[in-house]
Chain A
Amino acid sequence: MRDEMVEALFDALTDYRCESHADIAAATGWTSWTVSGVLAYIRRPEVASEWGWTVPHVPRGPGAHLFQVVAIDNAALDADQYDHVRRGAVSTLRLVTTENENQAHALELAARLLGGPVARKLRNVARAQAGAAAMTEIVIADLLA
């Protein structure tokens, strides 16, 4: 990923009100595919740390959801920024929860078909994933409280 593309994303999100990938595409002249790629890139923890900012995930579904640059590491978030990040976090955590629940269920089914150490290990993984799903549910509840 070229630095100029990351800088162009920053300019687009700070100069324009972008509520969708299409808005970002219009502001940058990129395709939607490129928009998704650059957003995914800047959201990688090591990349965001290097640049000092990221773009939180936004909730899906109806309503206006603003794509916004958020400074990280040593940068204090104001109330609006924090709320934006919090809502994006809830959406992201719901995906993580669902993935863990589904994988736990699939591994439990696979374990029933097998015997021996592999089945035991599959059950261990399934239990770990079910536990992780339950824990992210608690994080969601905490963020919504």
Chain B
Amino acid sequence: MSDDAAVGVRELLTAARDQQATLDWLARTLGNVGPIRRARRYQRNVVEELEDLVELLA
């Protein structure tokens, strides 16, 4: 992949971390129970997969 693609993947990682922070905030505000708890776990998985991809492209 090109350098541009690597930059794009890093931007995706930043966006995914922002989404994680949003879900964390909602969980703190609304209560970390039920679906939102699972949603945070799914989003954490996205962040971890993207971190692996960034490493692979480094």
Contacts and interface: CB of A to CB of B under 8 A. Distances in A.
A121 B22 contact: no
B45 A132 contact: yes
A96 B26 CA distance: 12
Given A125-B50, A128-B49, A139 B28 contact: no
Size band of the A side of the interface?
35 or more
Contacts of B57: 118
A43 B25 contact: yes
- Interface SS of chain A: helix
A111 B27 CA distance: 33
Interface of B: 1, 5, 12, 15-16, 19, 21-26, 28-30, 34-36, 38-39, 42-43, 45-46, 49-50, 52-53, 56-57
Given A45-B25, A124-B49, A136-B23, 20 more contacts: A48-B25, A72-B28, A73-B28, A86-B30, A96-B19, A96-B23, A107-B12, A110-B5, A114-B1, A118-B53, A124-B52, A125-B46, A128-B46, A128-B49, A132-B46, A135-B43, A136-B39, A139-B36, A142-B36, A143-B30
